[in-house]
């Protein structure tokens, strides 16, 4: 576990709150992941302090829980499920705001887990909770969701500061198209970080990616395996394309080397709480990002990029893309920024069509 100075943590939280207050773009991630826009508009005036943040999102989560219970009584299980998942997301906001490990953070995360499982219990889709054992007795927790008619497995690799519970709308879209979804907390994420105390390093992430892929192939040997990820997760998707069991991968706004990115300072400090970002040579203190020059690309790669990306410039992205040596295609959105938030639903639809062979990139280009 990484220990950071409490003053540094306090300043990081303050900068995060200031960014949330001043910049609309801060909220794009949470809106596309299920945050109700009306809830956000009502909340923004009350989240200038850490205490206000906690109070606001816990109250909204309780409102979602109450509404979910009312809908259960009415046997409207689909809407009840939606409300419980939003409650889980709002508790994730409380878990997320303080990047350092604490009992309070664990409490918020546990609430998120509880409500996500409550939502799972109402769903028509089977959810399986599993744990993977990595090297050095590292345990990673995950969720696998299985639709009735399966055409493949999509491994969702989660962004560096996300949890497997946050991307439930990704699961929903992929499940509707007949894909099994497999989502595990990697080193420094979710349960793997909070329960098992595992921080992210390059070596651990490399092992994690291959273990999840191999687990998918062992569990579903007759189904094709696909990878999907955004930002830093997209970088690990590119790394995973080298695994022989992977059929295709989709990378949205893949990150480049950290020193080549325009990463907000508050976000870098957040990352330091749960993963290694210093550039050192020791095996267990390597940066939590792939060595791009060492990737042996194998599977076809579909990449999405927003031309207005302020974190990854066009030149840096082009350098990364040009070095992808396997079969590749690029979809570029001129009006989108990092992670192409306003196009993510469309991107997931295109990904599903491409994975299933219904969308031929060669013909489109």
Q: What is the mean pLDDT of residues 289-315?
A: 96
Stretch 330-347: mean pLDDT:
97
d(CA 143, CA 239) in angstroms, rounded, equals 22
Q: Is the pLDDT higher at 2 or at 318?
A: 318
Say yes or no: 115 and 157 in one domain: no
Distance CA 42, CA 279 (A): 42
The reported pLDDT for the residue numbered 109 is 97
Q: Are residues 64 and 135 in the same domain?
A: no
What does the pLDDT read at residue 5? 78
pLDDT band at 301 (very low <50, low <70, confident <90, very high): very high
What is the DSSP annotation of 250-283? Answer: EEES----GGGS---HHHHHHHTTTB--S---SG
CA distance 208 to 198: 12
- For residue range 355-365, list pLDDT tens digits in order: 999 877 654 54
pLDDT of residue 279: 60
The whole-angstrom separation of Cα 347 and Cα 342 is: 10
Tokens of 54: 């906690």
**CATH of residue 326:** 3.40.50.1820
56-63: average pLDDT: 98
Q: Do 46 and 130 have their domain in common?
A: no
Query: Quick one: CA dihedral 43, 47, 52, 57, positive or negative?
Result: positive
- What pLDDT digit, counting tens, does each position of 108-127 carry? 999 999 999 999 999 999 99
Are 147 and 279 within one domain?
Answer: yes
Q: Which of 80, 109, 124 is the last residue of a domain?
A: 124
187 and 332 share one domain: yes
The pLDDT tens digits for 302-314 are 999 999 999 999 9
What is the percent of the chain where pLDDT is above 90?
85
pLDDT for residue 59: 98
| Residue labelled with tokens 């995060």 | 16
23 to each of 16, 171, 262, how far by Cα in Å? 11, 28, 16
User: Domain total for the chain?
Assistant: 2
pLDDT at 276: 87
pLDDT in tens, 61-109: 999 999 999 999 999 999 999 999 999 999 999 999 999 999 999 999 9
DSSP 131: E
Confidence of residue 265 (pLDDT cuts 50, 70, 90): confident
**Pairwise CA distance, residues 336 & 25, whole Å:** 11
49 three-state secondary structure:
coil
Query: Average pLDDT for residues 151-179, to the nearest whole number?
Result: 97
Q: Give the DSSP per-residue string, 187-227.
A: TTSHHHHHTT-PPB-HHHHHHHHHHHHHHHHHHSTTS-EEE
Task: List, for residues 91-103, the tens digit of each pLDDT value.
Answer: 999 999 999 999 9
* Whether residue 2 has pLDDT greater than 80: no
134, 82: one domain: no
Considering the domain architecture, whether residues 229 and 345 belong to the same structural domain is answered as: yes
- The owner of tokens 């990139």 is 361
- If asked whether residues 90 and 219 sit together in one domain, one would say no
Domain end (from 59, 94, 124)? 124
| Strand (E) or helix (H) holding 146 | strand 139-146
| Whether 208 and 231 share a structural domain | yes
User: Any idea which of 201-210, 246-255, 319-328, 353-362 has the lowest mean pLDDT?
Assistant: 353-362
| For the chain, percent of residues with pLDDT exceeding 70 | 95
CATH number of the domain encompassing residue 17: 1.20.1440.110
Q: Are residues 27 and 149 in the same domain?
A: no
pLDDT-based confidence at 4, cuts 50/70/90? Answer: low
pLDDT bucket at 285, cuts 50 / 70 / 90:
low
Domain finish residue from 97, 124, 151: 124
Residues 115, 233, single domain; the answer is no
What pLDDT is stored for residue 284 in this prediction?
Answer: 46
The DSSP H or E segment spanning 228 is strand 225-230
Is the domain of 155 the same as that of 249? yes
Provide the domain limits for residue 363: 126-365
Written as six digits, the tokens of 338 are 């990092």
Question: What pTM did the predictor assign?
Answer: 0.95
353 burial level (CB within 10 Å; 0-12, 13-18, 19+): middle
């Amino acid at each position: 576990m990484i220990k950071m100075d409490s003053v540094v943590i306090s300043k990081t939280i303050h900068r995060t709150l200031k960014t949330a207050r001043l910049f609309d773009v801060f909220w794009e991630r949470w809106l596309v992941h299920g945050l109700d826009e009306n809830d956000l508009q009502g909340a923004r005036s009350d989240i200038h302090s850490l205490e206000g943040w906690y109070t606001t999102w816990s109250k909204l989560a309780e409102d979602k829980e109450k509404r979910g219970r009312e809908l259960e009584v009415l046997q409207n299980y689909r809407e009840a499920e939606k409300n419980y998942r939003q409650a889980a997301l709002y508790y994730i906001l409380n878990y997320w705001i303080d990047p350092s490990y604490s009992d309070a953070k664990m409490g918020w995360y546990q609430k998120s887990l509880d409500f996500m499982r409550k939502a799972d219990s109402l769903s028509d889709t089977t959810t399986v909770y599993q744990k993977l054992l990595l090297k050095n007795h590292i345990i990673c927790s995950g969720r696998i969701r299985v639709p009735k008619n399966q055409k493949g497995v999509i491994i969702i690799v989660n962004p560096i500061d996300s949890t497997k519970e946050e991307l439930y709308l990704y699961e929903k879209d992929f499940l509707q198209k007949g894909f099994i979804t497999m989502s595990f907390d990697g080193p420094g994420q979710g349960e793997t970080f909070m329960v098992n105390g595992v921080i992210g390093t390059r070596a651990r992430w490399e092992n994690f990616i291959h273990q999840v892929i191999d687990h998918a192939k062992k569990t579903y040997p007759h189904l094709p395996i696909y990878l999907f990820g955004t930002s830093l997760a997209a970088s690990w998707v590119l790394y995973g394309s080298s695994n022989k069991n992977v059929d295709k991968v989709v990378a949205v706004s893949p990150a480049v080397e950290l020193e080549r990115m325009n990463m907000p300072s508050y976000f870098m400090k957040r990352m330091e709480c749960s993963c290694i970002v210093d550039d050192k040579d020791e095996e267990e203190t390597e940066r939590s990002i792939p060595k791009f020059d060492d990737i042996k690309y194998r599977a076809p790669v579909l990449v999405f990029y927003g031309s207005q990306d302020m974190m990854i410039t066009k030149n840096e992205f082009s350098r990364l893309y040009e070095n992808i040596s396997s079969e590749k295609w690029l979809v570029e959105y001129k009006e989108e920024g990092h992670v192409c938030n306003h196009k993510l639903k469309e991107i997931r639809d295109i990904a599903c069509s491409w994975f299933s062979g219904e969308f031929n990139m060669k013909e489109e280009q």
